[in-house]
Amino acid sequence: MLSTGIDLVETNRIKKSLENPLFLQRVFGNNEIASLKTKSPKQQILSAAAWFAAKEAFSKSLGTGIIGFKLSEVEVVHNEFGAPKLIFSDNIKKLVEGKTFSLSLTHTDNYAAAVVVSMIDEKHCSPVKE
């Protein structure tokens, strides 16, 4: 079974939010915070906006919204080719068990967007009642 989530964020909204140190702690995990510190100020805003959109899209792909996890427990990392992927804290491994996620990110100076497609292993699907 496939499920999709999508989100669009205004980068100026994230720029303003980044001025509050509590925003960083509430929304981003340790890997993301460390990665942001290596980027230019403009790239910090664009990356943070795309990652925020990814977390929202992830929650939508679950079909539950942000229930049962904190945004900081879902992190965006990149493989050796630069492709983004989601990693999860131990606290939410049970929530994502049996699911595989694909992530796509994009941004302009004004907007960032993310799409998450999740595939649920058939053995983890509940039978459909008619």
Quick check: is 37 catalytic? no
Catalytic residue among 42, 60, 123, 129: 60
Strand partners of residue 2: 119
Concerning whether 107 is annotated as a catalytic residue, the answer is: yes
Report which of 68, 88, 86 is spatially closest to residue 77, judged by C-alpha positions: 86
Distance of CA 42 to the CA centre of its chain: 20
Q: What angle do CA 37, 42, 46 make, to 5 degrees?
A: 85
- Alpha carbon 123 to its chain's center: 25
Per the residue annotation, which of 94, 107, 123, 129 is the catalytic one?
107
Residues noted as catalytic? 60, 107
